[in-house]
Amino acid sequence: MQEKIDQYTADILAFSPANADELEAFRIKYLGTKGLIKDLFEEFKTVGPEEKRVFGKVLNQFKQMAEGKYAELKESLDSGAKTQDLGLDLTLPGDGFEVGSRHPLSLVRNEIIDIFKRLGFVVAEGPEIEDDWHNFSALNFPQEHPARDMQDTFFIRKGDGSDDIALRTHTSSVQVRMMENGKPPFRAIMPGRVYRNEAISARAHCFFHQVEGLYVDENVSFADLKQTLFHFVQELYGEGTKVRFRPSYFPFTEPSAEMDISCTICKGDGCNMCKYTGWVEILGCGMVDPNVLENCGIDSKKYTGFAFGMGIERITNLKYVIRDLRLFSENDVRFLKQFQTDII
Ligand code: PHE
C-alpha cells in the first residue's frame, strides 16, 4: 500500500494539464467514485489493525494532497481560460497614448501675458457681445463718425429693430469696463477674441485675437509707453530687435502711434514678409484721450494713461512664419502638431 501511495504522490505532483479535458481525466482517475483513491480506501478496510493505525493518517493526508492539487490546477486553468477568451496577452507592454500640443495662438498669448505680468500687469476679461457704449461711444467714437468704419462691425439686430449690440471689434471695450468699475491706478492687459466683418482669406479673417493693454496713473507719459513696449519686444523677439513709432490716428488715444519692429525674418535686410522694407507693424498705441477717461468717470486733470493693442495672429506669424491665417481655425492636426510643447 505504501508503495502505491508513493507512486501516486509522485505522479500527482508531476502532473500538469494542457487543457481542461486532461484535468478532468486526472480528477476521474484519482478522485472519481471509481478512482484510485477510492480503491485505496477499499483496500484499507481489508488490512490488519496494526497497518490500519499507520495508514489511516497517511491515507487521509494523501487524499487531501490530491484534492488540493486538483483545486489549484483548476483555478489556474480557469483564469488562464478567461484571458484566452478575451484574446489578450496581459504580459504585453501598454500602447501608450499621444500627448496633445497647445495651439500656437495660445502659446503666443501665454508668452505675451507672462511678459506683461512680470511688469505688474494683471489680466482682465470682458464679454464678446458688447453694447455700443463700451465698444464705441465711451471710446470717443462719435455717433455716425466715419471712424466707426475703421472696424467693420457685426451688428446684432434686436427684436425691436435696434442694433446697438455688436460683436466686439476690439478688446478696448474691456478697458472701458475696467475703468468704469474701479479706481486708478490701472495696469492691465486684455486678451480675447474679436470680430470684424471681413471676407475670409489668407490675410484676413472674420475673427481674430488681440491683447490690449492699459496703464493709467498720475504722471504716466509717452516715455513710459515707449519703454514698456520696447521692453516687451526685446523679451518676445530677442535683444537687439529695433522699434520705431509712426504717428497714427485712433479716436481713443491722442497722440496715437503705430509701432513697427525690425523684421524678425530678415533682421531688417528686406524679405517678402516685410515687403522689402525691413520693418513690420505689430501694434497700435497712444496716450488715452482725456475724453475717454472722463467718460469712465476718471479725473483727466489728475490722471493720464497709455494704451496699446496688438493682434495675436500677427505676432504669431512673425514668430512661426505662418502664411495663411485660415490655418489657425481649421483644426488640422498636422498643422497643430508642429507646436509640441511640454504641457503636462
Ligand atoms: N483698439 C485698437 C484696434 O483694435 C488698437 C489700439 C488699442 C490702438 C489701444 C491704440 C490703443 O485696432
Pocket of ligand 1 (CB under 6 A): 170, 172, 212, 250, 253, 284-286, 307-309
> Which residue is associated with the grid cell 464705441?
136
Tell me which residue has cell 513710459: 224
148, 178, 229, 252, best to mutate for ligand 1 pocket (most atoms within 8 Å of CB): 252
Cα(309) to centroid(ligand 1), Å: 4
334: its cell numbers: 498636422
Separation CA 31–CA 15 (nearest Å): 14
Using 50, 70 and 90 to split pLDDT, how confident is the model at 341? low
For the CA of 214, the closest atom of ligand 1 is 9
Closest atom of ligand 1 to CA, residue 212:
7
Please tell me which residue, 289 or 56, carries the higher pLDDT value. 289
What pLDDT, in 10s, does the model give residues 20-46? 888 889 899 998 888 888 888 888 888
| 150: its cell numbers | 475703421
pLDDT digits (tens, 9 = 90+) for 190-208: 999 999 999 998 888 999 9
Highest mean pLDDT out of 201-205, 232-236, 269-273: 232-236
H or E element that contains 227: helix 222-237
Beta strands 253-262; 279-288: pairing state = antiparallel
> Per the omega criterion (within 30 degrees of 0), is the bond before 146 cis?
no
What is the 327 CA–ligand 1 centroid distance (Å)?
24
CA 187 to chain centre: 27
Q: What local confidence, expressed as pLDDT, does residue 83 receive?
A: 61
261 in Cβ contact with 104 (< 8 Å):
no
Ligand 1, atom nearest to 284 Cα: 8
Q: How confident is the model at residue 344, as a pLDDT?
A: 46
Nearest ligand 1 atom to the CA of 210 is: 4
Of 149, 212, 287, the residue with max ligand 1 atoms within 8 A of its CB, to mutate for a pocket test, comes to: 212
pTM as predicted: 0.72
Phi, psi of 68 (to 5 degrees): -60, -45
For residue 251, say if its preceding peptide bond is cis, omega within 30 degrees of 0: no
